[in-house]
Amino acid sequence: MREPMTRKLAPFGVSVFTEFTRLALEHQAINLAQGFPDFDGPDAIKEFACERIRRGHNQYAPSHGVAALRRAIAAKVQRCYGLEVDAEDEVTVYAGATEAIFSSLAGLIEPGDEVILFEPAYDSYAPSTVMAGGTPRYVTLRFPDFAVDEDELRAAFSPRTKAIVLNTPMNPCGKVFSRAELSLIAELCQQFDCFAVTDEVYEHLTFDGASHLPLIALPGMRQRTVMISSTAKTFSMTGWKVGYSVAGPRLTAASRSSHQFVTFCTPPPLQEAMAFAMGLGDEYFSGLRQSYAERRALLLERLAAIGFDVRPPAGTYYVAAGIGPLGFDDDYAFCRGLPALAGVSMIPFSAFYRDRHAGRDVVRVAFCKSGPLLEEACVRLGRLPRRS
């Protein structure tokens, strides 16, 4: 029989999140691997969705999203970033940021086009690029500071570049791109006449005074950027898969050209509940940041005491932790053994690099868990037998 799987998808195997959540379940380990909270967002959001289901809002939504949510997104980007956007022609709702990224790339990329990706790269970027017919071109950032090398970035751009994918705050390393780094990206996008697809799902999770700056707000980038975010992290409902994009009308038309044939639309009661959620006051957003700042402080302190090499992430809900000081040098071996050995699960950092030697002595630890569970995980990690 012929091989059913395409050659372009076969190299990507099974998602690292599937592998390590499965392993966590098998060993009943505390899952600090896959990035989902062990708590839900506000009850009022759930009630709103249930009420809309009962009221009969259960048939297809408009492909680009229900009007109430698109208007709420437009109001939110105006409030948070001072961006004036047209809710009809510039805002689109998708089945999560994941679909927004795929649909945007599928609408933008021709065979032979190159797409610049920063690595460590979130797992869906390379497969989405390849499924869209493009070729990934990598710029590597390294533990512990993940600094951008200007020459390496400049060298990645060429007339073949159609797009760059930028994730800030960045999963898995916690980096928040500075204004200077964003200005360089903006300059290069304009010089090479290409587009930016920005993944900003952790926009509200920044710490120690770091602030999130959307690339679309930089001079010259308003019509060149598809700004993507999601309600998953902001409202602690990762399973709902309500994501969205904000982009100029021509870029929006490109993203929608594929979106209409990928999922067509996203469940209307969930969209309407998220429209309600976006209207929650500033206290909700500051409370979210504060509670994550506390979890982050707890995890950083405990991991450091155990002997991990940790640096405070400026954003996201992940900590990149070096395992070298504990006597380990193989992140996959460490993470595959950890659930059985300690009852905790984490993600090997090299999963986010094309060259598996990069990040081999680093693991990603999620802190989107309630305090007592994080404490219990750290107690278990403290019993880990040392190799050094």
96's contact among ligand PMP, ligand GLN, none, with CB below 5 to 8 A by partner kind, is ligand PMP
Output the smallest distance, CB 219 to ligand PMP, in A: 26
Identify which of residues 167 and 350 has a Cβ nearer to ligand PMP in the complex: 167
Phi/psi of residue 98, nearest 5 degrees: -60, -45
Identify which of residues 256 and 364 has a Cβ nearer to ligand GLN in the complex: 364
Distance of alpha carbon 175 from alpha carbon 155, whole angstroms: 22
Output the smallest distance, CB 224 to ligand PMP, in A: 20
Output the smallest distance, CB 385 to ligand GLN, in A: 27
Cβ atoms 98, 124 nearer than 8 A: yes
* Helix segments in 307-355, DSSP class H: 331-342
Identify which of residues 162 and 241 has a Cβ nearer to ligand GLN in the complex: 241
181's contact among ligand GLN, ligand PMP, none, with CB below 5 to 8 A by partner kind, is none
Distance of alpha carbon 343 from alpha carbon 338, whole angstroms: 7
97's contact among ligand PMP, ligand GLN, none, with CB below 5 to 8 A by partner kind, is ligand PMP
Output the smallest distance, CB 154 to ligand GLN, in A: 29
Output the smallest distance, CB 259 to ligand PMP, in A: 13
Distance of CA 106 to the CA centre of its chain: 18
Output the smallest distance, CB 16 to ligand PMP, in A: 12
DSSP structure class, residue 216: G
241's contact among ligand PMP, ligand GLN, none, with CB below 5 to 8 A by partner kind, is ligand PMP
17's contact among ligand GLN, ligand PMP, none, with CB below 5 to 8 A by partner kind, is ligand GLN
Output the smallest distance, CB 271 to ligand GLN, in A: 20
Distance of alpha carbon 6 from alpha carbon 379, whole angstroms: 45
Identify which of residues 15 and 190 has a Cβ nearer to ligand GLN in the complex: 15
Output the smallest distance, CB 211 to ligand PMP, in A: 18
Cβ atoms 214, 200 nearer than 8 A: yes
| Total Cβ atoms within 10 A of residue 356 | 14
34's contact among ligand GLN, ligand PMP, none, with CB below 5 to 8 A by partner kind, is ligand GLN
Identify which of residues 23 and 117 has a Cβ nearer to ligand PMP in the complex: 117
Identify which of residues 108 and 342 has a Cβ nearer to ligand PMP in the complex: 108
Binding site for ligand GLN (CB under 6 A): 15, 17, 34-35, 171
User: How many residues does the structure list for the chain?
Assistant: 388
92's contact among ligand PMP, ligand GLN, none, with CB below 5 to 8 A by partner kind, is none
Distance of alpha carbon 256 from alpha carbon 332, whole angstroms: 38
Binding site for ligand PMP (CB under 6 A): 35, 96-98, 122, 167, 171, 199, 201, 230, 232, 238, 241, 243
Residue 198 bridge partners (DSSP): 166, 227
Identify which of residues 103 and 171 has a Cβ nearer to ligand PMP in the complex: 171
Identify which of residues 212 and 224 has a Cβ nearer to ligand GLN in the complex: 212
Give, for 72, the enclosing helix (H) or strand (E). Answer: helix 67-81
Q: Which token pair is 316?
A: 């996201």
Distance of alpha carbon 193 from alpha carbon 216, whole angstroms: 15
Characterize 170-199 residue by residue with b for buried, 16 or more Cβ atoms within 10 angstroms of its Cβ, and e for exposed: bbbbbbbbeeebbbbbbbbbeebebbbbbb
Distance of alpha carbon 326 from alpha carbon 254, whole angstroms: 49
Amino acid at 186: A
